[in-house]
Amino acid sequence: MSGAAPLETPVKRSPSEMAVQGKPATGKGAITLDHIVKRYAEERVVDDVTVDIRAGKFFSLLGPSGSGKTTTLMMIAGFASVDGGAIRVDGVDISNVSPQRRGFGMVFQNYAIFPHLNVFENVAFPLRARRIDEREIKERVAWALGLVRLERFSDRYARQLSGGQQQRVAIARAIVFHPTVVLMDEPLDAAEIAPPFLRHAETCSGDRSRWLKLAVDTMPSLAPRTAARSQPTR
Ligand SMILES: Nc1ncnc2c1ncn2[C@@H]1O[C@H](COP(=O)(O)OP(=O)(O)O)[C@@H](O)[C@H]1O
Ligand SMILES: [Mg+2]
């Protein structure tokens, strides 16, 4: 991926609306990719990408297969190192911070549902890792499963779910700990993705009309701001 050029669309939401269930998020979640580079062997698979993503906004990276979208997401999440440039969140360079300390929600392309854990325990996983107490885990998992309309599926395992349901489990797991940033690799379609985020956002801001408008504005592409590269890598 190279030469990504953001297309601006005016958006009216303020970062403070990221406050979740009465708890303000610790950061705002504005992301800057500042001339980032990723090399595998001699090849620059991400070549000097610069993008500003404001807090609280949907943003899509578009590009053909092999253009470096997943690699870029992995660098933002911290699962791939950055070979040049810097990644900043709210102005702070996090290029060398571990994925755990970044604390972003991540929906992997293959969903990465733990096969030996049921739906409830998959969604509870990030909360257990943060040593949240059992009562709050039950409440928060119920809340997240409600957002993705999987309340009745908590005892199921991945093999007993459709692809869309698995993706919704992955979304619930990515938002259950109220991250400031959620990254999604090739979400299936806006119809699956937007409703849980819309309801999540309503919970955050308590202002349904504002969010209904946002949902209408962002359907079907979901992303009011988009970075696209115009040429395939090779
Ligand atoms: N771990 C890796 N080792 C070597 N090459 C890789 C690795 N991961 C990705 N690549 C290469 O980097 C390029 C970008 O891949 P990727 O980010 O997965 O693209 P996209 O998600 O846009 O389809 C591809 O040419 C791919 O083969
Ligand atoms: Mg990919």
Confidence (pLDDT) at 198? 62
Q: Would you say the CB of residue 73 lies under 6 angstroms from ligand 1?
A: no
Please state, rounded to an integer, the average pLDDT across all residues of the chain: 77
- pTM score of the predicted model: 0.76
Contact 37, 44 (CB under 8 A): yes
User: What does the pLDDT look like over 66-116, one tens digit per residue?
Assistant: 888 899 999 999 999 999 999 999 899 999 999 988 888 888 888 899 999
Nearest protein Cα to ligand 1, atom 14: 68
* Residue whose structure tokens are 């972003």: 104
Q: Would you say the CB of residue 57 lies under 6 angstroms from ligand 1?
A: no
**Mutate which of 45, 70, 75 for ligand 1 pocket (most atoms within 8 A of beta carbon):** 45
Band (2; pLDDT cuts 50, 70, 90): low
Q: Would you say the CB of residue 66 lies under 6 angstroms from ligand 1?
A: yes
Q: Would you say the CB of residue 229 lies under 6 angstroms from ligand 1?
A: no
Listed residue (58, 111, 82, 65) closest to 234, CA to CA: 65
Confidence (pLDDT) at 5? 38
Q: How many CA atoms lie within 13 A of 142 on its CB side?
A: 6
Q: Would you say the CB of residue 68 lies under 6 angstroms from ligand 1?
A: yes
Protein residues near ligand 2, an ion, with CB under 5 A: 69-70
Checking if the pLDDT of 16 tops 60, the result is no
- Cα(164) to centroid(ligand 2), Å: 18
Q: Would you say the CB of residue 64 lies under 6 angstroms from ligand 1?
A: no
> Greater confidence, 162 or 210?
162
The amino acid at residue 117 is: L
Pair of tokens at residue 217: 């504005």
User: What does the pLDDT look like over 191-212, one tens digit per residue?
Assistant: 566 666 666 655 655 554 444 4
